[in-house]
Structures are given as structure tokens and as C-alpha cells.
Amino acid sequence: MTINCNGYLLDLSVPKIAGILNITPDSFYDGGNYVSEDAIKIKTKELIEEGADIIDIGAFSSRPGAKLISELQEKKRLQSALEIVRKYFPNIILSVDTYRSEIARFVIKEFDVSIINDISGGNFDDKMFETIAEFQVPYIVMHMQGNPGTMQKKPQYNDVVKDLLKFFSKKTESAKKYGINDLIIDPGFGFGKTPEHNYRLLNKLDLFNIFERPILVGLSRKSMIYKLNDETPDDALPGTLALSMIALQKGTNILRVHDVKETLQVISVFKKLISS
């Protein structure tokens, strides 16, 4: 199980870490922390040195209730940050969060971005699949009910697991029709889902291996963890690590996290466990 990142085959048979670099002013956990050149450089260096295989950059907040920013604003934020990252770390594998095909085209062409991470799974821009097929970059297709502004307003499913299996069945078929080689599945924990939906999905995550596609999971410091004990994202690292181990046991290939060093320890323990 490999994905082609600008000619480099990234082996996902061993779990990998995508370290989060938020360049937004309003993300739920570390918004506004990484705006200046020094801050972006230092954070990226820290993520790499702690063991991140991928740096995942987001220029807009997708927290519940967040408002969508303009394409121009997103492009300016990304250009500024990517110029800094590529200046100091020219060879690192980069993933960019965007649901806009023109932004995807821009970052791939101008900054050799290897992976596009789309929270809408192609639902917000009908040219996204076409663009991904043109450049043949790995594409993370995430499930979200609604949009960030509405997604947590009483999300409902007939059966959350069956509904997502149907969603990804359609997306994998679309990817085949477009000739997209590297499709990565993300169930979208916390995106249009209640805590009960999230935990049921995690319990049944192994069912998504039926698609024979890599699975990415983003659980890091989310409200499904910290609200259990009436805490904040700052308190959610232990719960994040616990759920990360469960996700690995269910077949997850990529963990998208804020805390790389601690997650690497989880992966080391997991590898020892399955080899014993």
C-alpha cells in the first residue's frame, strides 16, 4: 500500500503521521499561533524533527460554526506560508487542505504540493476530481454532512456506518472513472456527527478496509474527547492517544495530529504489539 508523492512512493503499510500546521487565525486548538515567518519555520522544523512524514497545511478553519473564507484570502494565506516552508524545507511532503480546485491547481504547480486534503470530498467543487486526475496527486476524500457553518446543527443519519460506506462507495467509483490512482479515505470525525456517531464510526472503522484504500483519521484533540469530561482541547492529549491506538488497530494508515512526538510513541507501541 503506497501513494505516489511527486515520484516518491510513500509506504503506508507502516502507519504514517501527518503533522498539522494551521496558518489560520481561528482554528479550534492553535489558531493564530503560526502566522509569522519565524513561527511557521520553527513549527515546521519541530514537526519534522519529531517524526512527521507529511506536513498538512490548512489556510481556513473548518471548526464547527466557522465561516468559509474567500478564494483570494485562502490563496494569499497559502502562498505566504508555502513560500516559507519551501524556502527552509524544500523536500518535505506537503499536504494542503482545500476544497477548491483552483487552489489545488495553484499549490500543486507552484509549490510541488504532493497531497490534496478535501474536507468536502469533492462536493463543494465539481471540478476537483478532474483536477486531481490531471495532476495525479494523492487525494484525501473526507466525509462531512453539511458545511462547517451548519454541520453540527442536529446531524442525522439512517445508520452512520452504512451511510458512510455508501458515500465512500460512490467516491471510489468516481475516482476510478476519472482515473485517480491514489484515493485516501477520511471518515471525518467531528464533521457533521454527534459524539455517538463518532464513537460508533471508530468502533466499526475496520469495515472501511473493504475499499482497499488507505485510511486517514483525524481525532487530534477534538470535542468528542474533551467534552466527555467537560474539559478543553488543551486537556485532550491522553484521550487522543488512546483513540489513536484504537484507530491503528482498526486499520488506519495515516494519523493527522497536532502532537507528533507522542503519536510516534503510540505507533511504536502498536508496531511492537502486532509483531509479538
CA distance 141 to 173: 12
Inter-residue contact 21 to 57 (CB < 8 Å): yes
41 is a catalytic site residue: no
Percent of the chain with pLDDT strictly greater than 70: 93
Residue type, 235: D
- The catalytic residue among 222, 227, 261, 271 is 222
Which pLDDT band, with edges at 50, 70 and 90, does 221 fall under?
A: very high
256 is a catalytic site residue: yes
**What range does the domain containing 176 cover?**
2-275
- The catalytic residue among 256, 261, 271, 272 is 256
Nearest to 30 by CA among 61, 53, 56, 76: 61
pTM, two decimals, is 0.93
pLDDT mean over 160-176: 97
CATH number at residue 228: 3.20.20.20
User: pLDDT tens across 41-91, in order?
Assistant: 999 999 999 999 999 998 887 766 667 789 999 999 999 999 999 999 999
Q: What is the pLDDT of residue 67?
A: 73
Number of domains in the chain: 1
Q: CA 39, 45, 47, 53 torsion: positive or negative?
A: positive
Query: How large is the C-alpha radius of gyration of the chain?
Result: 17
